[in-house]
DNA sequence: ACTAATCCATTCATTTTATGAATGAATAAA
DNA sequence: TTTATTCATTCATAAAATGAATGGATTAGT
């Protein structure tokens, strides 16, 4: 394949990418900090190189053609890849090694990242790039070497190895507990309850497991991330059900008090996911190391 | 992720790509049809953007640093991807659909391609890009939608579905047969034998299955592709063991005469491979269609 | 040790390419 | 209509990439 290599310029591709996303040259121009004129001409150039109209000009406004949409999808992916490649190279600095890691936001912030320096110290010249991402995405496309996954064995294209089960506990700030005079687990339900939007059933399940009817337990404040629930709990806003892994420090320091263990029948737990087929030794070593970090399931 | 998007120019990346491949700016310049000067400066620019030396200047000559090699690998892949994307878009023309197909060279030329028009006619606006490739490569990386694979269930990252077993026959050109007066299968071994380099054991296995000692049967002419073996057989150069799928026409027209069936204990056969995880309906439909094409195992 | 050849770095003048500003044409909304 | 919006085009300008020439450093050959 002698590269007669008629690749369109990056300028061209970026203009097309933005235009396709927005289906508007003016908007794309704004996004790119260019004028509409520039974008218009760049897109036209791409159309000439490809030999096919990519947008249908409809009076004012443009719409992607079929060919345009197909190309846009591909090009967006390719550019994103290229950006990541460059980004990783910058992060790697002088060393040849970067490990690209993804994990759910709160898990990353509270459990994973604090432990990373130890791993980094074991490997000379290693740098890391951490992405917070919740759940199944394409490891290959996004160029992630290792991802922490919470859920089941349900990640196609990923090599999963179990990390640890989730251990849930009901907690609250000490002064809140004093105020409500909690003595037995069921008392917890009298306090204001804090919820994670994605898992609103937790309190109900907990209540049921204690013999409570479990009705109307979804009221209370809702948050879309564990970190927010944690902040709220620390602020004494209510009781929360949280994974122990995310509040190790708070439990140790007594900023949050464990009120009851929560058992859930959902068979979800933490996994380490690596891209299938790809065989990066560093990723394997990181996986092994991660699993070792979790041997001491509780430290309180 | 607000794209502060400091992507190096494509010119820069291509210069780096070529330089990395050759570990020489002058050679890279030649490959790209540029001057050494241009390449030198482009590479330098990339090094400045990344913030790390990518080549070690060693007197005359340059050598990739660790970081350089890592980046080169990634960038080569990314550019190749981009090229394919553009290439496929050009091939697709006005229609939104391209199917990228890979198959072993001779199989593609003799069996697959002749049948493709029929499939294409079933799908409006469909175009195809065909690559001849022998054996396990990364479907995702190379952006192949469907690949024909000969071998076993041994393609990681690919969804395999069986197409058909390989049916081998010993054949020769009619005049050669006359000349050697072949009457029973064992007589075949008296003729000059033609071999496929990758499978030199075929004649020996054949001979053993007939009770012959099977020694010294690897001599004769060797070729690295089935198509060459076929040409040689047609030219009366000797007898060959060939898959029926590759010589359907010749058997029908009597240009090659079937001398004996060959049974092999190797459990290899043809498969259709599609990238795991990706779920392209067109690829599925092509797979199904392919398997239907093979229902009539023999047409003679 | 000298010479010739090879290769990379740098500079400067030049060409090529991308861009902005201005303007026109088409369309949709008021 | 009138007005506002949006894309297309043109032209002058700014920015970027390039080639030619040159210098320095290194290796190979004698």
Q: Kindly report the CATH number assigned to the domain that includes residue A72.
A: 1.10.10.10
pLDDT of residue A280 exceeding 70:
yes
Please report the pLDDT score of residue B2 as a whole number. 33
Residue B46 included in any domain: yes
pLDDT of residue B155 exceeding 50:
yes
Residue that terminates a domain, selected from A88, A109, A137: A88
CA atoms within 13 A on the CB side of A97: 13
Q: Name the β-bridge partners of B55.
A: B64
* Closest residue of chain A to B70, computed from CA coordinates: A96
Same domain, A203 and A221: yes
Per-residue model confidence as pLDDT tens digits over B71-104: 999 999 999 999 999 999 999 988 888 999 999 9
Same domain, B65 and B99: no
Question: In the structure, how far is the CA atom of residue A81 from the C1' atom of nucleotide C6, in angstroms?
Answer: 38
Give the Cα separation of A84 and A238 in Å (integer): 41
Question: Distance of alpha carbon A94 from its chain centroid, rounded?
Answer: 28
Please report the pLDDT score of residue B239 as a whole number. 95
Same domain, A158 and A185: no
Please report the pLDDT score of residue A4 as a whole number. 44
Q: Is B293 exposed, middle or buried (0-12, 13-18, 19+ CB in 10 A)?
A: middle
pLDDT of residue A57 exceeding 50:
yes
pLDDT of residue A2 exceeding 90:
no
Give the Cα separation of A180 and B275 in Å (integer): 58
Q: Does B76 touch chain A (CB under 8 A)?
A: no
Indicate yes or no: strand C within 7 A of the C-beta of A49.
Answer: no
Per-residue model confidence as pLDDT tens digits over A67-103: 999 999 999 999 999 999 999 999 988 888 899 999 9
Same domain, A172 and A138: no
Same domain, A78 and A151: no
User: Using 50, 70 and 90 to split pLDDT, how confident is the model at B15?
Assistant: very high
Task: Mark which residues 213-272 of B lie under 8 Å from A by CB.
Answer: none
Which is it for strands A62-64 and A126-132: parallel, antiparallel or unpaired?
unpaired
Separation in Å, CA B182 to CA B175, B189, B203, B243, B256:
11, 9, 16, 21, 14
Task: Mark which residues 129-158 of B lie under 8 Å from A by CB.
Answer: 138, 140, 156-157
Residue A189 included in any domain: yes
pLDDT of residue A276 exceeding 70:
yes
Enumerate the residues of chain A whose CB falls inside 8 A of the CB of residue B71. Answer: 85, 89
Q: Does A5 touch chain B (CB under 8 A)?
A: yes
Given its phi and psi angles, is residue A19 left (phi above 0), alpha (psi -120 to 50 degrees) or beta? alpha
Task: Tokens 């991402």: give the residue.
Answer: A133
Residue B59 included in any domain: yes
Enumerate the residues of chain A whose CB falls inside 8 A of the CB of residue B6. Answer: 86
Indicate yes or no: strand D within 7 A of the C-beta of B9.
Answer: yes
Domain that holds residue A196: 168-262
Burial B182-209 (b: 16+ CB within 10 A, else e): beebeebbebbbbbbeeeeebbbbbbeb
Residue A5 included in any domain: no
Same domain, A115 and A133: yes
- Could you tell me which residues come within 8 angstroms of residue B248 by beta carbon, excluding any fewer than 6 positions away? B110, B111, B299
Domain count, chain B: 3
More confident residue, B72 or A141: B72
Residue A4 included in any domain: no
Residue in B65, B85, B94 closest to A74 by CB: B85
The residue whose CA lies nearest the C1' of nucleotide C10 is: B37
Q: Name the β-bridge partners of B277.
A: none
For the CA atoms of A228, A234, A240, A245, the dihedral, rounded to the nearest 10 degrees, stands at 80
Residue B67 included in any domain: yes
CB-based contact B85 A92, cutoff 8 Å: no
Q: What is the mean pLDDT of chain A?
A: 89
Please report the pLDDT score of residue B156 as a whole number. 84
Q: Does B279 touch chain A (CB under 8 A)?
A: no
SS3 category, B205: helix
Same domain, A113 and A246: no
pLDDT, average across residues B138-164: 91
pLDDT, average across residues A149-168: 90
CB-based contact A7 B82, cutoff 8 Å: yes
> Picking from A284-288, B179-183, B283-287, which range would have the lowest pLDDT averaged per residue?
B179-183
Enumerate the residues of chain B whose CB falls inside 8 A of the CB of residue A92. Answer: 52, 67, 70
Please report the pLDDT score of residue A3 as a whole number. 41
Indicate yes or no: strand C within 7 A of the C-beta of B5.
Answer: no
Please report the pLDDT score of residue A296 as a whole number. 53
Three-class DSSP labels, chain A = CCCCCCCCCHHHHHHHHHHHHHCCHHHHHHHHCCCHHHHHHHHHHHHHHHCCCCEEECCCCEEECHHHHHHHHHHHHHHHHHHHHHHHHHHHCCCCEEEEEEECHHHHHHHHHHHHHHHHHHCCCEEEEEEECCCCCCCCCCCCCEEEEEECCCCCCEEEEEEEECCEEEEECHHHHHHHCCCCHHHHHHCCEEEEHHHCCHHHHHHHHCCCCCCCCCCCEEECCHHHHHHHHHCCCCEEEEEHHHCHHHHHHCCCEEEEEECCCCCCEEEEEEECCCCCHHHHHHHHHHHHCCCCCCCC
CB A258 within 8 A of CB A180: no
The residue whose CA lies nearest the C1' of nucleotide D19 is: B35
At residue B45, φ and ψ (nearest 5 deg) are -60, -45
For the CA atoms of B143, B145, B146, B150, the dihedral, rounded to the nearest 10 degrees, stands at 20
Indicate yes or no: strand D within 7 A of the C-beta of B143.
Answer: no
More confident residue, A209 or A194: A194
Query: How is residue B56 annotated by DSSP?
Result: E
Give the pair of three-digit tokens for residue A42: 């760049």
**Residue percentage of chain A with pLDDT more than 70:** 96
Residue that terminates a domain, selected from A65, A88, A111: A88
Q: What is the mean pLDDT of chain B?
A: 89
Same domain, A78 and A148: no
Query: How is residue B143 annotated by DSSP?
Result: T
Give the Cα separation of B104 and B111 in Å (integer): 10
Same domain, B189 and B252: yes
Same domain, A181 and A256: yes
Please report the pLDDT score of residue B5 as a whole number. 63
Residue that terminates a domain, selected from A71, A88, A105: A88
Residue A103 included in any domain: yes
Same domain, A200 and A215: yes
Indicate yes or no: strand D within 7 A of the C-beta of A26.
Answer: yes
Same domain, B149 and B99: yes
Helix, strand, coil content of chain B in percent (nearest 5): 45, 20, 35
Residue A3 included in any domain: no
For residue B285, the domain's CATH number is 3.40.190.10
| Residue B130 host element (H or E) | strand B126-132
Give the Cα separation of B216 and B207 in Å (integer): 11
Give the pair of three-digit tokens for residue A265: 């029948």
Please report the pLDDT score of residue A5 as a whole number. 62
Q: Name the β-bridge partners of A129.
A: A100
Q: Name the β-bridge partners of B128.
A: B99
Residue in A10, A85, A96 closest to B9 by CB: A10
């Amino acid at each position: 394949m002698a590269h007669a290599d008629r690749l369109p310029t990056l300028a061209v591709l970026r203009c097309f990418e933005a235009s396709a996303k927005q289906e508007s040259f003016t908007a794309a121009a704004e996004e790119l900090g260019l004028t509409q004129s520039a974008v218009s001409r760049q897109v036209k150039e791409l159309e000439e190189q490809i030999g096919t109209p990519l947008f249908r000009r409809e009076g004012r406004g443009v719409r992607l053609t079929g060919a345009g949409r197909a190309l846009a999808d591909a090009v967006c992916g390719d550019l994103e890849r290229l950006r990541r490649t460059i980004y990783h190279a910058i992060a790697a600095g002088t060393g040849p090694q970067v490990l690209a890691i993804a994990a759910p936001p709160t898990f990353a912030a509270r459990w994973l990242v604090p432990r990373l320096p130890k791993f980094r110290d074991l490997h000379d010249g290693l740098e890391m790039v951490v992405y917070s991402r919740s759940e199944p995405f394409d490891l290959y496309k996004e160029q992630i070497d290792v991802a922490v996954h919470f859920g089941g064995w349900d990640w196609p294209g990923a090599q999963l190895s179990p990390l640890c089960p989730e251990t849930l506990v009901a907690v609250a700030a000490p002064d809140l507990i004093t105020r409500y005079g909690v003595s037995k687990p069921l008392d917890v339900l009298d306090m204001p309850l804090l919820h994670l939007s994605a898992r609103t059933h937790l309190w109900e399940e907990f209540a049921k497991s204690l013999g409570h009817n479990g009705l109307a337990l979804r009221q209370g404040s809702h948050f879309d991330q564990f970190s927010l629930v944690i902040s709220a709990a620390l602020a004494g806003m209510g009781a929360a059900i949280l994974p122990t892994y995310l509040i190790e420090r708070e439990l140790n320091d007594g900023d949050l008090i464990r009120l009851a263990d929560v058992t859930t029948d959902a068979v979800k737990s933490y996994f380490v996911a690596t891209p299938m087929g790809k065989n990066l030794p560093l990723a394997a070593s990181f996986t092994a190391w991660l699993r070792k970090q979790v041997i001491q399931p509780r430290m309180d």
